[in-house]
Chains A and B, each alone.
Chain A
Amino acid sequence: MMATATDNTLLDVRDLRTYFHTFSGTVKAVNGVSFQIGKGEVMGLVGESGGGKSVVGFSILGLIDSPGQIMGGEILLNGEDLAQAGEERLRQIRGREISMVFQDPMTSLNPLHTVGQQMDEVLRLHTDLDADARHRACVEMLESVGISRAAERLSAYPHQFSGGMRQRVVIAIAMLARPRLIIADEPTTALDVTIQSQILKLMRRQIAEKGASMILITHDLAVVSEMADHITVLYCGKVVERGRTRDLIEAPAHPYTRGLIDSIPDPANPHARLKQIPGTVPDIRNLPKGCNFRDRCPRAQARCAEEEPELHPQNAAQWAACHYPLQPGDSA
């Protein structure tokens, strides 16, 4: 399922490397990341802050600003390599084939334009519809993300909406040109918990209805386990584990994944002390030899300091980069 690209594959990222050349050294924010997403699938991209999750998203869209640079790898969207595509082609793809939902709905809409103007802009750019048809499409889309009196709301400004409503508008804009892939970068992090689940359900329904795929970038395994078909865990710019959501949540093979799962509070056991992963992410400009996680890893042994683990299959559908992976039933 995961190792080879099939006809059903929408996006196939192979050995993606995005580096930032700074005065204090090269930051290998994305360092040899590979994954595939099938049509209609949701992939969770999980990791701590600074793990390179967002950089993967922006690399796919070709929006890495100086001093960042895509140094290698392929980003195959239906077989077309976006890493080699020119700016002109990328602009056609952005918004039309791939769109993005941002973290903060308070700043991802322009305060000076009405919601209708901002929606219309996308359609004008990517479709040949006339003004009437565009208007109808906008109303329809706003209704489908659960905004009532949509026709009226088109002439409202972003400040007249609440945070959750704005995120609905942002999702409506992202879905408007019927993209094949949506990259959602922490789409619910800035929202109240009650709104979070509404928005997640909405996104789930939208992609199912429109047959789109999604990359869900988040640090919140709880969110991703609700949404994703499979999960890729990043640590220090590398994939440390990937697999189907259920397998990965129930039986993580990498100690880092285990640590992330353990740090979710357990409502059934409110008095238990919350587990945490000791230590902090190492300086990404100056990564240690061997496994990047070894200083924080309860299972680390001498070999981990010498040899960097490669991504190995643990079973048919789960891969992990660890010399001493957890077996189902092990505790960390």
Chain B
Amino acid sequence: MTGFFQSEFFHNYSRSASAIIGSALMLTFAVAVIAGPFLVAQNPYDIAALNLMDSYKPPVWLDGGDPQFPLGTDGQGRDVWASILYGARISVFIGLVAMIASCTIGTLLGLIAGFYGGIVDSVIMRIADIQLSFPSILIALFLMSAVGTGVDKVLIALTAVGWVVYARTVRGSTLSEIKKEYVQAAKVAGLPNTAIIRKHVLPNVLTPLIVIATIQVGTFVLIEASLSFLGVGVPITQPSLGLLIKNGFDVLFSGLWWTSVFPGVAIMMLVFGINLFGDFLRDELNPRLK
């Protein structure tokens, strides 16, 4: 571990304000997501714990605020702070799982396209081109209206959109990798194609994916929020941050701003943190910028 603290990576990290702020925000959300339910007294989705008498309480620093509900409550008397902690879990879960699925599928298809070339390559990359010509929200909307809503449907929609960027990146790096002599040498040594891909090509194309994957989590959180806001995202029983904004939006202009603004700020901080850290990684992992 001392090796890590003496590395150039850590050295640059400790001198980069955006990296520290970004990772601090990400860490905060990680704690909130893991420990969230233990930090609040009220489970906002336990109907028995709600009291309609508490509805639309303003944040604690405004007139009529209740110290029990630091960020106020919504129309059902739900604590907004607790809702955010629970909602962030769903948002982050969706972002992470969709990223992992996209990355796995995209990398695999990119490797196959780049390594084997020819007709396989053409088919995979033309499908990717078609995907890219649709806005991601449109694909998601089609999918959701066809198969209905649900966390799993959101994941499918995001993955269907997200794999393309990995496939393209990996295909490009694979093409330049397989021209190198060590891949030829592995062929000459009699290594089967699958082993060449796994041992010699894959490890050499992974670095740019780390940056893409980091930033994509943020993108996915935003897309999911948009979908939920449009009413085709997660179901009301599993509200994400996006759905919280939607729920509060109805009363936003009645002066009850806190029910949608605070979840909005939460999304902003989450995505901001991820992007700051992703930018740092991009500079750090790009040998040309060194």
Contact = CB atoms under 8 A, between A and B. Distances in A.
Partners in one complex: yes
B63 interface: no
Given A100-B188, A108-B185, 20 more contacts: A63-B184, A63-B188, A92-B190, A93-B190, A99-B188, A99-B189, A100-B185, A102-B184, A102-B185, A103-B181, A108-B184, A110-B204, A111-B204, A112-B203, A112-B204, A113-B203, A121-B186, A121-B189, A121-B191, A125-B190
Given A104-B181, A107-B181, A109-B182, A95 B200 contact: no
A91 B181 contact: no
Contacts, number: 61
Contacts of B3: none
B290 interface: no
B11 interface: no
Interface string A114-136: 00000001100110000000000
B255 interface: no
Contacts of A138: none
B118 interface: yes
Contacts of A99: 188-189
21 contacts: A61-B188, A63-B188, A66-B118, A90-B190, A94-B189, A94-B190, A95-B188, A95-B189, A95-B190, A103-B181, A107-B182, A108-B181, A108-B182, A108-B185, A110-B182, A110-B204, A113-B199, A113-B203, A121-B189, A125-B190, A126-B190
Interface residues of B, number: 17
A128 B182 CA distance: 24
Interface of B is mostly: helix
Contacts of A93: 190
Across the A-B interface, give the 6 residue pairs with the lowest CB-CB distance, nearest first.
A94-B190, A95-B189, A108-B181, A95-B190, A100-B188, A110-B182
Contacts of A125: 189-191
Interface string A83-101: 0000000111111100110
A173 interface: yes
B288 interface: no
Contacts of A61: 188
Contacts of B189: 94-95, 99, 121-122, 125, 173
Given A102-B181, A102-B185, A110 B200 contact: yes
